[in-house]
Structure formats: structure tokens, C-alpha cells
Amino acid sequence: MKTKQISVNGRFGGLYLFFAVFIALSFITRTILLAKSLPVLDLTPWLLVKIYGVGLFFDIVAAAYFSIPLVLYLTVIPDKIYQGRFHKPVIYLFSFVILYLLVFNSFAEYFFFDEFGVRFNFIAVDYLIYTHEVVKNIMESYPMPAILTAIAVISLIILISFRKLIDSSIAVRSSLKQRIKIGFVFIFIPILSFVFVDLDWAKISANNYANELSANGIYSLFAAFRNNKINYETFYATRDDRAVFQKLRFLLSERNNSFADDNIFDITREIKNTGEEKRLNVVVIVEESFSAEFLGVFGNRNNLTPNLDRLAKESILFTNMHATGTRTDRGLEAVTLSVPPTPGRSLVKRPNNENMFSWGFMMKSKGYDTKFFYGGYGYFDNMNYFFSHNGFDNIVDRTDFARNEVVFENAWGVSDEDLFNKSIKEFNKSYGNNKPFFALIMTTSNHRPYTYPDGRIDIPSHSGREGAVKYADYAIGKLIRDAQKEPWFKDTVFVIVADHCAGSAGKTSLPVKRYEIPLLIYSPSHFSPQRIDKLASQIDIAPTVLGLLNFSYRTKFFGKDIFKMQPEQERALIGTYQKLGYVKNDRLVVLDIKKEAAVYQFNRDTGEARKLPPDPNLLNEAVSYYQGANYLFEHNLNKF
């Protein structure tokens, strides 16, 4: 039989059909959402043209991405299989599944838009993460059996309508050469799109509804996966930018700083301390999931932290310190960059996070060797990339450990004692080169599966959280004992803090007590023991340590030197992926999506909270921190 030329009725006819249905459903969805948005759209003929023109472009791009598996399948499957008697039912089955997914997406987009006023974004990504809660909420909110049945009926009607085209595409023979030519074109489209196309192209108007309508929901969803953020200005309470920065500059003022210039949008300050700078080594140990409640000095009676409790008596102990978030990357962001938590993913995993004003660059500018240590593989949470592009010259992760340097490891990496032993070797190198060192060490042992070397503590490995906590404490004690044998110990400051608490769930949306973490600054040769109960969060750690070192420097940090805080300046910033919290005195402001804001009074001892009437002044302070941080990042004004 003679091979025919590929046409609309040829093998790729099913692909053309897919594009036609995808674009048609996208057009219908856009039109329905447009009608829903008319009261707030300020529609003009030209804006309408842009909505549908740019929308068609994004629909084609999204269809191209979505069709990649189908293109590969149509290209590589030979005629003998493709035209086999058992293949037609397979094609019909997959056609129905694809149609069902497309129609389902249109319904999902409508309900999502109805609730949030936007296409899919990082909130949708977040929903995919928390499937149990989301599925339960959807089942209680919508008549899902009826909706799913309707989707199935619509999909079946579409399939039956195009049955003849599908049959004819199966009957036409083709050669591999012909299929590769067409397949290459369809694969090349998403490759070009990945390199050049950006969701910002959908910003066609000052009206956010118009921008959302010109986008495509599926494309926006994958863009959210890639960009890892929720747009602050779209979803959260905002104020005039100038008013925000006027307030922010007031909030960032301290006794020993002054702003570098009069530019209202510049928070750069000159920190000036009198006297000689203390060029001490600084080792920041970030303990995985280490809640304050684990320590005896915070009231725990299970003797889980004998080493830290001893160190606390010889250290500056901060008893009112809070994590900014609930994930490791959020803690690393706050400690390294001294910025409030951003909606969505932390800056550690966001695009354009290079060369930011960081503690690493700050210490490097002072002549320090800068080092980052992680016991696992540093591609996790984008750690290696982030630290290597933000002032840390020496990156050490699991790949840098020789076999004889590992006593124990699990899925997360080497044990804490192996990590600390490796760190001491690197510190010795810097000391041998007459260089002060600044190091940030991220531990892993206090994490599921809660396994660690045998014989170290009196709780067997793999027996639960308490054993992991006690082993982590053992490893810190061993680190300090080993460091005391080194010549650089007396001129070293050890900063011990958690990345976040072991759990953050509570009766309220942001349970303040569940964000309490320990902070110890230990350098017995230089700093006398004391307890500091000022309200603070992780963003204040870097400025506080730099203050203890008596450094003078330029800063863009949002954090403050805790020792110089006046009572009215005490505050903490905490958050989740979605909710942003501002803590002051016994008040908590919670900023949430859909521009919602609420004020609570909480009891520090019990953690109980009750809702209060709005407090405009507190709300303005909270918005100034979060909107200001977002503005600086989006406008590249927080670079070093």
C-alpha cells in the first residue's frame, strides 16, 4: 500500500483535534470568566482584543506543553501497532481521559477564579501539596458527584462528535521520517516557549482581572511551580508605596544607624559603632526542627538537652525568639538575608535570588572565609545554589565526605557529629591561613526517621523524636568539647538556633507559641552569660551578632540589633506559605489572601488567642514590613 502524505486527516489529526478542543475550551472558559469580571474590568474594545489575542497565544503555548507526551507517542509508534485491531480502543480510552482532564480543568478554573479572582497560581500548587485538607474541603463545598458526572457526559459528547476524525487518523499510513518532521515542530514549540515565554507577557493592563483573563490557567499553574511565589500586591492588604516606605524607614531606625540617603525607597543604613571591631570567628549552627520546648531551660523535664542546658548557663540566651516560618528554607532565608517571610516559597528557592544583601557577603567584605555546611545533598531546597550565589565561597555537602569521614548516615545525610567533625577540619584550614571564618551549618539528625549512631545516648535509635532531639544535643556537646581543643576556639562565637519548630499546628491560624525557638550565643572568652527576653525573630540574629562584634557597616537588613531595641520596637515576623504574621506585645496581626487581615490577642504562656477589633496602626506596621520586602525584591533593590 502506498504511503500517503500526512494531513489533517492523517495520524496527527488527533493532535490537531486536541489543539482545537484545548483552544475552544480555553476560549469558552475565558469568556465565562470575562462575563463574571465585567463589573470590575473597565472593558474597552482594545482591551478586549488584547485579552483574547494574548489569551490565544498562551492557550497555544499551554496546549503545546500539554501535548508533549501525545506528540512523542504519535511519532514513535509504528503503523503495525498504531493500526492494530487492539489499538483503537486504547486510542478512544486515552482520548476520553484527555478530554475529561481538559473539561475538568475548565470547571476547576471557574471555581478557583470564583474564590480568588485569579487563574491558578501558587495557592493551587499549595493545594496540591495539602491534598487531604483540600479534597475534604472541596467535597464539603461543592456537589462533586453531579459535577464529575457532568464532566464525563460533556467529554463523551465531544468524543462522539469527533469519532469519524479519530477513525480516519488511525487508517492513514505514515513513515517514520514524515512523523519525525511533524513531531519535531510540535516539540520545538514548547522548547522555545520554555526559553523565551514568561507569564509577565500577560500583564496587558493596570487592571489585574484583565491580566488574569489574558493568561491560561494550565500555563499559570506550571509557572507557579517554576516561580514558587504568590504575588503580594494581588492578594494581600496594601498601602501606597511611598507611605509604606516612610513607615518602614521609621520602623527600621535604631540608635546607632542613619539612612544612607533621602531616597524614600532605599532602606540602606549606615551602622556605626565606636571602638575596635572584634574580628572573631562566627559559627552559626542551624538545628533542624528544634523547638524551644525541648530544652530544660524552657521548662522541659525530660532531660533531652543536657548539653544545651549547660551551654545556656554560659551563653547569652534569648528566651523570646521566634522562627519566621515552618520550613528549613524559610529559616535559612531569615538567618542569612534578614528579611520577612515572603508569600509562597522562600527566597532560597525563588528565581533572581542571586547576589542579595546577605550575612555571607557582609562577612566576606570584612575579609572572612565564608562556608556553608550541610550533611545531605545540597540540591535539596536549592541550598547549594543559593549559598554559593550569596556570599559563601566554600560549600560542603554530602558529596564532599570521604568514606572514612562518615560514621552514620540515613536518607537525609550524614549524622550531626560527622557534619561537625568535617566542619572542624575546614575551620582548621582557615586558621592555618590566618583567616577568620564565618560558617553556617545546617543539621539533619532531628528529622524522621529519627535514626543516629548507636551508643551515643540512652535512647535507642529509630525510637522517635525525643531520641533525635537528645542525639542532636549530644552532637552539639561533642562539637563544643572538640572545638575547645583547637587554638581558634577562644576567638570563636557559636550561634545556636533552630530553623523552625518541630510542629506549627494549633487552634489558631498562626499559633505564636508554636514558633518559639532557642537562640544561644556562646563565646565564654568574650561575652558574659545573660538572659534576654526581648521579642524578636530570626531576622534579628545577623544584626545582633554583628553588633556584638562591634562592626560598622552598611546594611539592607530588615532585622535589628536586639540589644539596641527599645521596648516599643520589639516585634516578631512569622508566617506560613500563605498567612503572614506580625507580633507586637500580646497582639498578632494576620495578613491573608483576598486582602484579609485580622488582629488577635494571645497568651504567651498558654498559646490561646482571641480575635480583636481592627487596629489600623498595627496593620500599617505589618503591611509596611511585608509590602516593603516584596517591593524591594521585585525591583531588585535588595542586592549587595
pLDDT in tens, 375-425: 999 988 899 999 999 999 999 999 999 999 999 998 889 999 999 999 999
Average pLDDT of the chain to the nearest whole number:
91
Count the alpha carbons within 13 Å of 290 in the hemisphere toward its beta carbon: 31
- The pLDDT confidence band at residue 117, using thresholds 50, 70 and 90, is confident
pLDDT of residue 7: 44
At residue 455, φ and ψ (nearest 5 deg) are 80, 5
Q: Which residue has the higher pLDDT, 531 or 349?
A: 531
What the block records as the C-alpha cell of 446 is 532531628
- The pLDDT confidence band at residue 229, using thresholds 50, 70 and 90, is low
Q: How confident is the model over 83-96, as a mean pLDDT?
A: 89
Domain boundaries, the chain: 13-227, 243-523+530-634
- The pLDDT confidence band at residue 291, using thresholds 50, 70 and 90, is very high
Q: Running DSSP on this structure, what letter comes out for residue 230?
A: -
pLDDT of residue 6 exceeding 60, the answer is no
Distance (Å, whole) CA 162 – CA 167: 9
> Of 37-51, 94-108, 170-184, 537-551, which range is least confident?
170-184
Tell the burial category of 46 from Cβ atoms under 10 Å away from its Cβ (0-12, 13-18, 19+). Answer: exposed
Count the alpha carbons within 13 Å of 36 in the hemisphere toward its beta carbon: 19
Q: Running DSSP on this structure, what letter comes out for residue 6?
A: P
Distance (Å, whole) CA 411 – CA 491: 35
Q: Which residue has the higher pLDDT, 338 or 41?
A: 338
pLDDT of residue 134: 65
Distance (Å, whole) CA 146 – CA 126: 26
Q: How confident is the model over 274-283, as a mean pLDDT?
A: 96
Q: How confident is the model over 292-319, as a mean pLDDT?
A: 97
The percent of residues in the chain predicted with pLDDT above 70, rounded, is 95
Query: CA-CA-CA-CA torsion for 619, 622, 626, 627, nearest 10 degrees?
Result: 40
Q: How many Cβ atoms are within 10 Å of 534's Cβ, its own excluded? A: 20
pLDDT of residue 9: 57
pLDDT of residue 292 exceeding 80, the answer is yes
Q: Which long-range contacts (CB under 8 A, 24 or more apart) does 379-385 make?
A: 381/327, 381/328, 381/329, 381/332, 381/348, 381/349, 382/329, 382/348, 382/349, 383/329, 383/332, 383/348, 383/442
pLDDT of residue 447 exceeding 90, the answer is no
pLDDT of residue 517: 98
Distance (Å, whole) CA 536 – CA 184: 57
> Of 153-162, 178-187, 512-521, 533-542, which range is least confident?
178-187
Q: How confident is the model over 564-592, as a mean pLDDT?
A: 94
Q: Running DSSP on this structure, what letter comes out for residue 271?
A: E
CATH for 243-523+530-634 (1.10.3720.10, 3.40.190.80, 3.40.720.10, 3.30.1240.10): 3.40.720.10
**103-107, 180-184, 280-284: range with highest mean pLDDT:** 280-284
pLDDT of residue 252 exceeding 60, the answer is yes
Q: Which residue has the higher pLDDT, 40 or 426?
A: 426
Closest CA to 331 of 541, 573, 499, 514: 499
What H or E segment, with its residue span, contains residue 236?
none
What does the longest C-alpha to C-alpha distance in the chain come to?
93
- The pLDDT confidence band at residue 222, using thresholds 50, 70 and 90, is confident
| Residue carrying C-alpha cell 506550571 | 222
Q: How many Cβ atoms are within 10 Å of 250's Cβ, its own excluded? A: 10
What H or E segment, with its residue span, contains residue 440?
strand 437-442
pLDDT of residue 4 exceeding 70, the answer is no
Q: Which residue has the higher pLDDT, 118 or 102?
A: 102
pLDDT of residue 83: 86
Q: Which DSSP string corresponds to 285-343?
A: EEETT--GGGSGGGT--S---HHHHHHHHTSEEEEEEE-S-SSHHHHHHHHHH--PPPS
What the block records as the C-alpha cell of 624 is 509596611
Q: How confident is the model over 208-220, as a mean pLDDT?
A: 89
- The pLDDT confidence band at residue 170, using thresholds 50, 70 and 90, is confident
- The pLDDT confidence band at residue 303, using thresholds 50, 70 and 90, is very high
Exposure letters 141-151 (e unless 16+ CB within 10 A, then b): eeeeeeeeeeb
pLDDT of residue 11: 79
pLDDT of residue 129: 56
